[in-house]
């Protein structure tokens, strides 16, 4: 029976881990799922080992964030949309609503409207960039009618950038993999494995280059400063399963989260992006070849590290997206009336009138939930 398996780790018939090089380029689905949150943080520039860093590179990058299909209607306006924006869907996930249910999230106890909460931390690079662009000094010019018309039509005041959560699992994984990469380099030096040292250095450097090429920040739409008196920004959302969501909020929040366009501001654009993308791919190719020529101990260590990272990213992928983004700017309260929380239950034994329907959800107070967003005290 002992002859069925290798019994040593030498060159003649022993265990070989040359296949460990494939672990460096596997895990595309895990990394692709976290690509947006990973590349929106400055920690994407850390030189570190990461499974399948090439999954962060895309020939055509999206100009907006993914949205969830649902009907979004402004209560006091004429805005009608066919999708719920990315961050609004994180705050109250549409796919978690029961069919024909009613929810009403967030209002301020005093005025019944959602408000903004100041972020209690240092501004991020993306926020500083947004402030710099929107508040840039201008030379004094002779006052004419043209600037007034331009301000009226295209005024874009300070735009907020939603940063990644500071202590999110992805941030912790990035720092941990950076420290482990340093540990692998030290282990290669101690064991005098120059091939492993060069391979880990090239892989770590390629991750930094690819991270810089994919670095971006999400910018929210802001309400023009000179657009008259603002109406309440209450919004009604109807999911595909006929669940109804009533959001009580001000127009600023409605413009940022529901009716506005979430733009993706990329640091590298055009030819600059393609140059860094090519450079990252060039650095990664020889490093994968070098990994297959490391000593047995280094291959075992690198393989175990890659297996751990793949499992870790898979586990993080099961967590809600709210753990990855810093949405402390908004506070959401569930103010759904008590008699509306059971809208999706049968109202009686009648098989026709007692079953949950959209008409019941819309016509009765027991069929619609209410949410509100206001600042934390």
Give residue-wise pLDDT tens across range 187-212.
999 999 898 999 999 999 999 999 99
pLDDT of residue 152: 36
Stretch 319-326: mean pLDDT: 88
Answer with the residue of higher pLDDT: 137 or 79. Answer: 79
Q: Would the pLDDT of 179 be above 60?
A: yes
Over its C-alpha atoms, the chain yields an Rg (Å, rounded) of 26
Q: Can you list the positions of beta strands (E) in 90-152?
A: 102-106
What mean pLDDT is predicted for residues 222-243?
A: 71
Residue 108 confidence (pLDDT):
43
pLDDT at residue 361, as a whole number? 56
Per-residue pLDDT at 157: 43
- Inform me whether the pLDDT recorded for 370 exceeds 60: no
Element (H, E) at 332: strand 332-334
pLDDT band at 230 (very low <50, low <70, confident <90, very high): low
- Report CA-CA distances (Å) from 101 to 98, 249, 294, 360, 364: 5, 20, 58, 10, 12
Q: Which residue has the higher pLDDT, 316 or 363?
A: 316
pLDDT at 5: 43
- Cα-based distances in Å from 274 to 38, 212, 286: 19, 11, 19
More confident residue, 350 or 292: 292
What's the pLDDT score for residue 202?
94
Average pLDDT over residues 23-39: 78
pLDDT at 156 over 80: no
Asked if pLDDT for residue 121 goes beyond 50, the answer is no
Residue 350 has pLDDT above 70, yes or no: no
CB contact at 8 A, 107 and 243: no
Side-chain half-sphere CA neighbours of 284 within 13 A: 28
Structural domain spans, the chain? 33-133+153-373
**Beta-bridge mates of residue 239:** none
Helix axes 169-190, 194-214, angle to 10 degrees: 150
How would you class 365 by CB atoms within 10 Å of its CB: exposed for 0-12, middle for 13-18, buried for 19 or more?
exposed
Residue of higher predicted confidence among 168 and 223: 168
The pair of three-digit structure tokens given for residue 138, joined into one six-digit string: 């201008």
Q: What is the pLDDT of residue 95?
A: 78
Instruction: Say which residue, 55 or 47, is predicted with more confidence.
Output: 47
Mean pLDDT in residue range 213-221: 86
- pTM for the model stands at 0.72
Closest of 56, 6, 107, 74 to residue 266, by C-alpha: 56
CA 359 to chain centre: 35
Kindly report the average pLDDT of the chain as a whole number: 73
More confident residue, 289 or 201: 201
């Amino acid at each position: 029976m002992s002859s069925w398996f290798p019994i040593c780790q030498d060159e003649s018939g022993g265990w070989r881990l040359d296949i460990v090089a494939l672990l460096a380029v596997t895990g595309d689905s895990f990394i692709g799922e976290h690509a947006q949150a990973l590349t929106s943080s400055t920690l994407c520039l850390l030189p570190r080992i990461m499974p399948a860093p090439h999954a962060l590179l895309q020939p055509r990058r999206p100009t907006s964030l993914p949205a969830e299909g649902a009907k979004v209607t402004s209560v006091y306006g004429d805005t009608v949309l066919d999708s719920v924006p990315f961050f609004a869907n994180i705050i109250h996930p549409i796919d978690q609503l029961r069919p024909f249910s009613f929810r009403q999230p967030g209002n301020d106890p005093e005025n019944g409207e959602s408000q903004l909460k100041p972020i209690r931390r240092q501004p991020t690079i993306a926020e500083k960039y947004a402030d710099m662009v929107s508040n840039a000094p201008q030379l004094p010019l002779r006052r004419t009618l043209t600037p007034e018309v331009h301000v009226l039509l295209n005024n874009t005041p300070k735009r907020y950038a939603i940063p990644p959560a500071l202590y999110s699992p992805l941030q912790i994984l990035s720092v941990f993999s950076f420290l482990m990469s340093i540990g692998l380099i030290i282990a290669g030096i101690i064991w005098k494995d120059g091939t492993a040292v060069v391979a880990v250095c090239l892989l770590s450097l390629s991750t930094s280059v690819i991270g810089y090429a994919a670095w971006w920040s999400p910018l929210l739409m802001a309400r023009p400063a000179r657009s008259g008196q603002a109406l309440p920004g209450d919004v009604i959302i109807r999911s595909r399963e006929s669940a109804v969501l009533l959001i009580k909020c001000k127009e600023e929040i409605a413009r940022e989260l529901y009716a506005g366009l979430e733009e993706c501001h990329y640091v590298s654009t055009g030819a600059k992006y393609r140059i860094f993308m090519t450079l990252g791919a060039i650095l990664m190719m020889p490093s994968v070849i070098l990994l297959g020529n490391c000593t047995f101990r280094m291959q075992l260590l690198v393989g175990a590290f890659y297996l751990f990272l793949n499992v870790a990213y898979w586990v993080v992928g099961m967590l809600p997206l709210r753990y990855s983004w810093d949405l402390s700017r908004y506070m959401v309260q569930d103010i759904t009336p008590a008699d509306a929380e059971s809208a999706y239950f049968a109202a009686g034994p009648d098989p026709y009138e007692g079953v949950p329907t959209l008409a019941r959800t819309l016509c009765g107070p027991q069929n619609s939930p209410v949410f509100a967003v206001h600042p934390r005290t």
